[in-house]
Amino acid sequence: MSPARARTSRAAIVAAGREVLEERGLDGVSMASVARRVAVRPPSLYKHVRDRSALIAAIATDAANELAQAIEAAGGADDPPEHRLASMAHAFREFARRSPRATAMLFAGLEPGAGPSLESLARAARPVVDAGEALAGPAGALPAARALTAFAYGFTSMEAAGAFQLGGNVNEAFEQGVAALSSGFARRA
Partner DNA sequence: ACCTGAACACCGTTCAAGT
Sites for a copy of itself among residues 76-105 (CB under 8 A): 100-101, 104
Using CB distances below 5 to 8 A depending on partner kind, what does residue 76 bind out of a copy of itself, DNA, none?
none
Find the largest Cα–Cα distance for the chain. Answer: 70
Contact range with a copy of itself by CB under 8 A, out of 2-10, 69-77, 81-89, 120-128: 120-128
Nearest distance from residue 31's CB to DNA, in Å?
3
Angular region, 143: left φ>0, alpha ψ -120 to 50, beta rest = alpha
In this structure, what is the dihedral angle of CA atoms 95, 13, 21, 90, given to the nearest 10 degrees? 0
Q: What residues contact 26, with CB distance under 8 A and at least 6 apart? A: 56, 101, 105
Rounded to whole angstroms, the Cα distance separating 99 from 188 reads: 35
Contact range with a copy of itself by CB under 8 A, out of 30-38, 71-79, 82-90, 147-155: 147-155
Using CB distances below 5 to 8 A depending on partner kind, what does residue 41 bind out of DNA, a copy of itself, none?
DNA
Task: Check if the beta carbon of residue 185 is closer than 8 Å to that of residue 135.
Answer: yes
162 in contact with a copy of itself (CB under 8 A): yes
Of 39 and 108, CB closest to a copy of itself: 108
Buried b (16+ CB within 10 A) or exposed e, 139-162: ebbeebbebbbebbbebbbebeee
Q: What residues contact 140, with CB distance under 8 A and at least 6 apart? A: 132, 133, 185, 188, 189
Of 80 and 177, CB closest to a copy of itself: 177
Sites for DNA among residues 6-65 (CB under 7 A): 6-8, 29-33, 40-44, 46-48, 51-53
| Dihedral sign, Cα of residue 84, residue 98, residue 154, residue 115 | negative
173 in contact with a copy of itself (CB under 8 A): yes
Using CB distances below 5 to 8 A depending on partner kind, what does residue 40 bind out of a copy of itself, DNA, none?
DNA
- Interacting residues with a copy of itself (CB under 8 A): 25, 27, 100-101, 104, 107-111, 115, 118, 121-122, 125, 129, 142-144, 146-147, 149-155, 157-158, 160-170, 172-173, 176-177, 179-181, 183-185, 188
